[in-house]
Amino acid sequence: MSDVARTTEVAAADSPAIVKPRKRARSTKAMIDRYSWYELVGIYAGMALFLFFVLAPFIEGFLVSLKPLGLLFSTPYSFLPVNGSFDAYFTMWQSVPALGMHIFNSFFISSVVTLIVVIIVVPASYAFARFQFPGNGLMLAGFLAVNMFSGAVLLIPLFRLMRTLGLLNTYWAMIVPGAAFLIPSSIFLLRTYMMRIPKELDEAAWVDGASRLYTLRRVILPLAMPGIVVVAIMTFIGAYAQQFIFALTFNSKTEFMPLPVGLFAFFGKQEVVWNELMAASFVGILPVMIVIIFLQRYLVAGLTAGAVKQ
Amino acid sequence: MSQLSLKRLEKSFNEAKIIKGIDLDVTEGQFVVFVGPSGCGKSTLLRMIAGLEDVTEGEISISGKVVNDLPPVERGIAMVFQSYALYPHMTVYENIAFPLRVEKLPKAELDKRVQAAAKVLQLEPRLQHRPGQLSGGQRQRVAIGRAIVRQPKIFLFDEPLSNLDAALRSEMRIELMELHKRLGSTMIYVTHDQVEAMTMADKIVVLDAGLISQVGSPLELYHRPDNLFVAGFIGSPRMNFMNGTVTSSNGTSLVIDLGTLGTLDLPRSSKIGAGQSVTVGIRPEHLKLGAGDFTLAITPRIIEHLGIHTVLYANLPAGENFIGLFEGDPKVEEAVAVEIGFALDQVHLFDQAGLAVY
C-alpha cells in the first residue's frame, strides 16, 4: 500500500503539472495479487468449469428431488423441473417411516467413530512425533500398509471376527471396523502436525517440572487443535462414507441401519421412488454439513506464532 | 564452597564422543560463561547440567548432591532457551506462571511472584498479551521471567541473545548483568560470541572439541592465554600469528627466525631447542605505526574506518592474514606499504604443540 502511494508520489513529482495521480480501483492489493480483467475472467471461468464437473451430480440430484415421479421417465428428458415442488421432502417420511432413525444412526455411528479415533490418535501421534522407541518406524510403516487394503478386501475375515466376538447386528459391528480403518491415516496426519510444534516447548515444560501428560494436555493439545479438528472432520466424513459396506455386511437389523443402507427402502418391488430417494439423500448429508461448519471455527491458522524465533 | 561441580563428565551420542571429560567448579553467585565455536559441545554441556541430556560418564553435583539421575525440576535449576520456547497460546502472565501452576502454588502466592517478576523485567503493561504480539526483546524477558519465578539456585542460559539484533543485544546484555547483580544467583551462560563472554563473565570457560581449553577471568584469558586456540578465540579482531623457527636459546632469551620478516630476539627463560617450530602471536591492538622493538612492513588490502579505530587488513609474505588496529584516524592508504612495530613484552609465544611459553 505504501509502495503504491510512493510510486504515485514519485510519478507526480516527475511530471508535476501534467498528470494527476489517477485513482486505481485495485490499488489496495499488493502487486503480486493484482490481475488484469481478462486474467480474472479466465480464473473464474476455470473455477466455474471445475466446479460444474464436481457439482453436476449434486445439481441433477437436487433437481430430481423437486420433480414429480412421472416427469423423470418422460422423453425427451427434461432437466428442468417443470411444475416442481418440495413434496418429496414431506412424503418421504411417510414412505419410509424409519428414515429419521436411519439418519440418526448414521450420525451416531460417525460421531462415536470420530470420538474413538480422536481419543486414540492424539496420544499416539504425540508418541510418534516425540519419542524414539524401538520399532516406531516399523509400526508407522505397518499402519501405512493397513491403509493399502480397502475394507472390502477384508470383509470375510472381518465377518468371522465380528461373529466370534458376538458383535454382529449391533452398533459396534459398524463402529469398530470403521474406527480401525480410519486410525492409521489420522495418526500419520496428526503426527506430521505435531512434529511442527517446536520441541523446545516440551523441553521448557519439562525443565519447569511438568510431566509428559501435563505437557500434552496444557501445551501440545491447545497448539495441535487445528490439526485435531482436521483429523476429526476427515474421520467424520470418512466414517459417514464407509459405513455402507460394513452396515450391509455385518448388520441385518433395520433399527441399526445407517442412511446409505436405509435408502434401499425406496427401492420398491415395481419402481424406485427416485425423487424421494434424492430428497432423503440431501437431508441425510445435512448433519455432516452442520458438523463441519461447527468444527471449522476451530481451524485457526498461525496459532504457534511467537513460540520460538524462526 | 562450590555450588556446581562437574567431575570427569563425558557424553557420547552413539559412537561420537561430544564431551570428553570435563572438570569444573562453580562457586555460588558466579556468572560463568561457556564459550567456544559451533560444535564444541557447550550447549550439550549446559543441557546435561539442566537434565535434558543423560550423562554418559562422570558426575554432576549441585550443592554437594549428585544430581545425575534427577529430573530438572529437582536440581534447582531454571533454563532460558535460545529460541525462548514461550507457550504461544498463553498470555505473558500464564507463561510466567506456568512453573508455579505445575507446582500447584496457592493463587495469592502465585500472583505475588508473577507480579514481582514482571516488575523486575518491566513487563507489567504486557501481562495480558500473547507472545506473538511482543517484540524479540520482550519475548526474551518473558522467557527470563519464567525462569526467575521459580527462584532457582542456578540459572542456565543457552545463547539467549543470539536471535536479537545488535542494538537490542547490547541492551539485553546490560539488563542481564543488572539482573545478576540484583538476584545474586549463580548463572551459567552459553554463547559463541566472545564479546558477550568478555563483557558479562566473572569466569570464562573456553571449550574446544569437547574439552576445556582454559578457565579464567576475562582478562586472564586475554593477557595470558594458555594455548593457540584460546589466543585466537578471545579478542577481536583476532590475534595475528606468525610461524617461525627457534635458532638458539640461552635460558634468558630465544632467537626466532621469522623467515623474510626477520629475526625476533624474545626474552624467555624456556629452553626450546634450536630447530623447533613455534608460533609468535601479537594482538592487532598492540601494533603501533612506525618503528617498535620489532618492525615490519605491511601493505593494507582493505582499510576499515570506524572513527574511533582504523583497522588494516593485509597479508604477510607467507600468505597469512595480518590485522592491525590503530586508534583514531591515522594517515594510511590501501595498497601503500606502511611500517608498523610492536613491543616485545606484548608478544605471545606458542610451542610446537600450541601451548603458550611464558
pLDDT digits (tens, 9 = 90+) for A121-174: 999 999 999 998 898 889 989 888 887 877 778 889 989 999 999 989 999 999
Residues A27 and A123 in one domain: no
Q: Which of A35, A65, A85 is the last residue of a domain?
A: A85
Let me know if residue A1 belongs to a domain: no
Output the pLDDT for position A31: 82
Lowest-pLDDT range of A205-219, A272-286, A295-309, B232-246: A295-309
Output the pLDDT for position A80: 82
Q: Position of cell 433399527? A: A255
Chain A residues lying within 8 Å of B79, measured CB to CB: 204, 207
B46 min Cα distance to partner chain A (Å): 13
Let me know if residue A265 belongs to a domain: yes
Chain B residues lying within 8 Å of A203, measured CB to CB: 52, 81, 85
Output the pLDDT for position B190: 94
Percent of chain A surpassing pLDDT 90: 33
Output the pLDDT for position B104: 92
Question: Inter-chain contact A305–B132, Cβ cutoff 8 Å?
Answer: yes
- The enclosing domain of A220 has a CATH number of 1.10.3720.10
**A253: Cα within 13 Å, side-chain hemisphere:** 12
Residues A123 and A47 in one domain: no
Whether the pLDDT of residue A7 is over 50: the answer is no
Residues A219 and A138 in one domain: yes
Residues A44 and A113 in one domain: no
Mean pLDDT throughout A300-306?
Answer: 52
Q: Predicted confidence band at A18 (pLDDT cuts at 50, 70, 90)?
A: low
Mean pLDDT throughout B81-90?
Answer: 90
Residues A60 and A141 in one domain: no
Question: Inter-chain contact B73–A205, Cβ cutoff 8 Å?
Answer: no
Chain A residues lying within 8 Å of B136, measured CB to CB: 309
pLDDT digits (tens, 9 = 90+) for B16-35: 888 999 999 999 999 999 99
Lowest-pLDDT range of A13-22, B27-36, B54-63, B124-133: A13-22
Mean pLDDT throughout B310-337?
Answer: 90
Mean pLDDT throughout B305-314?
Answer: 93
- B299 vs B321: CA distance, rounded Å: 11
Output the pLDDT for position A310: 44
* Model confidence, pTM: 0.80
Number of neighbouring beta carbons within 10 Å of residue A255: 11
Percent of chain A surpassing pLDDT 70: 87
Number of separate domains in chain A: 2
Chain A residues whose C-beta sits inside 8 Å of any chain B C-beta:
198, 200-201, 203-210, 214, 218-219, 222-223, 302-309
Smallest CA–CA distance from B51 into chain A, residue: A207
Residues A135 and A58 in one domain: no
Output the pLDDT for position A40: 92
Asked if B302 and B313 count as a contact pair (C-beta separation under 8 A), the reply is yes
Residues A185 and A46 in one domain: no
Q: Predicted confidence band at A21 (pLDDT cuts at 50, 70, 90)?
A: low
Let me know if residue A239 belongs to a domain: yes
Residues A152 and A277 in one domain: yes
Give me the domain span that covers residue A121.
96-296
Closest Cβ opposite residue A309 in set B87, B89, B136? B136
Domain boundaries, chain B: 2-233, 240-350
Question: Inter-chain contact B102–A308, Cβ cutoff 8 Å?
Answer: no
Residues A113 and A194 in one domain: yes
Q: Predicted confidence band at A45 (pLDDT cuts at 50, 70, 90)?
A: very high
Chain B residues lying within 8 Å of A224, measured CB to CB: none
Question: Inter-chain contact A309–B131, Cβ cutoff 8 Å?
Answer: no
Lowest-pLDDT range of A23-32, B88-97, B139-148: A23-32
Let me know if residue A100 belongs to a domain: yes
Let me know if residue A74 belongs to a domain: yes
Number of neighbouring beta carbons within 10 Å of residue A205: 23
pLDDT digits (tens, 9 = 90+) for A100-110: 999 999 999 99
pLDDT digits (tens, 9 = 90+) for B210-251: 999 999 999 999 999 999 999 999 988 999 999 999 988 888
Whether the pLDDT of residue A8 is over 70: the answer is no
- B206 vs B233: CA distance, rounded Å: 9
Q: Predicted confidence band at B136 (pLDDT cuts at 50, 70, 90)?
A: confident
Whether the pLDDT of residue A10 is over 90: the answer is no
Number of neighbouring beta carbons within 10 Å of residue B42: 26
Smallest CA–CA distance from A306 into chain B, residue: B132
Residues A181 and A243 in one domain: yes
Residues A101 and A25 in one domain: no
Let me know if residue A302 belongs to a domain: no
Question: Inter-chain contact A207–B51, Cβ cutoff 8 Å?
Answer: yes
Asked if B64 and B233 count as a contact pair (C-beta separation under 8 A), the reply is no
- Look over chain A and give the mean of its residue pLDDT values, rounded to a whole number: 84
CATH architecture of B240-350: Beta Barrel (2.40)
Closest Cβ opposite residue B83 in set A208, A209, A308? A308
pLDDT digits (tens, 9 = 90+) for B278-309: 999 999 999 999 888 899 889 999 999 999 99
What superfamily in CATH does domain B2-233 come from?
A: P-loop containing nucleotide triphosphate hydrolases (3.40.50.300)
Let me know if residue A7 belongs to a domain: no
Q: Predicted confidence band at A251 (pLDDT cuts at 50, 70, 90)?
A: confident
Question: Inter-chain contact A309–B71, Cβ cutoff 8 Å?
Answer: no
Output the pLDDT for position A306: 52
Smallest CA–CA distance from B137 into chain A, residue: A309
Chain B residues whose C-beta sits inside 8 Å of any chain A C-beta:
50-52, 71-73, 77-79, 81, 83-89, 98-99, 102-103, 130-134, 136, 139, 146, 150, 163
Percent of chain B surpassing pLDDT 90: 59
Q: Map chain A to HEC letters.
A: CHHHHHHHHHHHHHCCCCCCCCCCCCCCCCHHHCCCHHHHHHHHHHHHHHHHHHHHHHHHHHHHHHCCHHHHHCCCCCCCCCCCCCHHHHHHHHHCCCHHHHHHHHHHHHHHHHHHHHHHHHHHHHHHHHCCCCCHHHHHHHHHHHHHCCHHHHHHHHHHHHHHHCCCCCCHHHHHHHHHHHHHHHHHHHHHHHHCCCHHHHHHHHHCCCCHHHHHHHHHHHHHHHHHHHHHHHHHHHHHHHHHHHHHHHCCCHHHCCHHHHHHHHECCCCECHHHHHHHHHHHHHHHHHHHHHHHCCCCCCCCCCCCCC
Residues A45 and A150 in one domain: no
Question: Inter-chain contact A205–B98, Cβ cutoff 8 Å?
Answer: yes
Chain B residues lying within 8 Å of A306, measured CB to CB: 86, 88, 130-134, 139
Q: Predicted confidence band at A12 (pLDDT cuts at 50, 70, 90)?
A: very low
Whether the pLDDT of residue A91 is over 60: the answer is yes
Q: What single string gives the DSSP state of each residue in B246-310?
A: EEEE-SS-EEEE-GGG-EEEE-----PPTT-EEEEEE-GGG-EES--SEEEEE-EEEEEE-SSEE
Q: Predicted confidence band at A2 (pLDDT cuts at 50, 70, 90)?
A: very low
